Amino acid sequence: TRWGYVQKLTKLGLDFGDLTDDRRKRQAEESVITAGYTTAKYLKQSGIKRPFVLVSTPGLLKELEALDITDYIATIEWDGNEATPKEAYLSSLDKASVDGLMAEHTKTDAVVVGWDFNLNALKIGVAVNCLKWSMEDAETTGHQAMPLITCSADSSGVLGTAKEGSRKIRAVGNGAMGHAIASCFDPPLEQVFCGKPSPALLQLLRDAESDGGYGVDFASAVMIGDTIETDIAFANAGDMRSLFVLSGVNSLEDMEQESEPHRKATWILPSFADV
């Protein structure tokens, strides 16, 4: 959540002021933008009320609830304090498991893929059937089929480094999780991405504050990131300058091998600490 990032950044030494003051706390939270927040905002603007949300932590659910989207179906149980995997979604993929779970999805109006580190074949199967049945219904009713919405387009991430050799330990990216569902269709189903480098996030940043945006002047903005396919591509899509840091997903070699202009950074540094 945005508040979670405020707390994390505060521990790292960033001063947001007196966070015991409600006004200052709200300002600090509003200064942070996450893929979860942009996803929730997109759902709200699209009139989506009962999404099927694939997650393993409650951050995205908190953002949904903050915008009064509370009638969701999630792959976790969350009581407002503790989140645990929903047992029904931990079974093997078979007809009985999917059939039983689909009974609660009669009014599902979107599939939303967040960070679900317990993603399995059953969850993918339920998501695919929600989407496919919606497409079949649309053919007879004329209504629009439900969308597949993915919070971020990242194909991978980094969990940390190995104990020996300092090699990066890779994670499955949110975008790859979405592709696991989209590729069950032929041709692959189009996804709506709400994080970098999506047009939805660019628009949110560009829009004036009076219109619910952030009023960012892209001409004077600098995007700092460690991932070429999202961070640097996002900067170029918005005509922003970019600083590529080597402390995360991609390496200097990755950047040097890039031939696409929209994936080239303005500057490169070992880490943000070198600024």
Note whether residue 209 is domain-resident. Answer: no
Domain CATH for 67: 3.40.50.1000
Note whether residue 211 is domain-resident. Answer: no
Looking at the fold, whether 38 and 24 belong to one and the same domain comes out as: no
The type of residue at 62 is K
Of 192, 186, 205, 81, whose CA–CA distance to 147 is shortest?
192
Looking at the fold, whether 189 and 154 belong to one and the same domain comes out as: yes
The pLDDT, as a whole number, for residue 212 is: 83
Looking at the fold, whether 3 and 22 belong to one and the same domain comes out as: yes
Looking at the fold, whether 111 and 67 belong to one and the same domain comes out as: yes
pLDDT by residue, tens only, the chain of 275 residues: 888 899 999 999 999 999 999 999 999 998 898 899 999 999 999 999 999 999 999 999 999 999 999 999 999 999 888 999 999 999 999 999 999 999 999 999 999 999 999 999 999 999 999 999 999 999 999 999 999 999 998 888 888 888 887 788 989 999 999 999 999 999 999 999 999 889 989 999 999 989 888 999 999 999 999 999 999 999 999 999 999 999 988 999 999 999 999 999 999 999 988 98
Looking at the fold, whether 43 and 116 belong to one and the same domain comes out as: yes
Spatial neighbors of 93 by CB under 8 A, at least 6 apart, are 120, 121, 122, 124, 125
- Quick one: 252 exposed, middle or buried, by C-beta within 10 A (0-12, 13-18, 19+)? exposed
The pLDDT, as a whole number, for residue 165 is: 78
Which H or E run includes 243? Answer: strand 241-245
Looking at the fold, whether 128 and 139 belong to one and the same domain comes out as: yes
Number of structural domains (the chain) is 3
Looking at the fold, whether 171 and 48 belong to one and the same domain comes out as: yes
Of 122, 1, 160, 126, whose CA–CA distance to 52 is shortest?
126
The tokens for 263 are: 């994936």
Note whether residue 201 is domain-resident. Answer: no
Note whether residue 55 is domain-resident. Answer: yes
- Residue-number span of the structural domain to which 3 is assigned: 1-32
Looking at the fold, whether 117 and 17 belong to one and the same domain comes out as: no
The pLDDT, as a whole number, for residue 219 is: 96
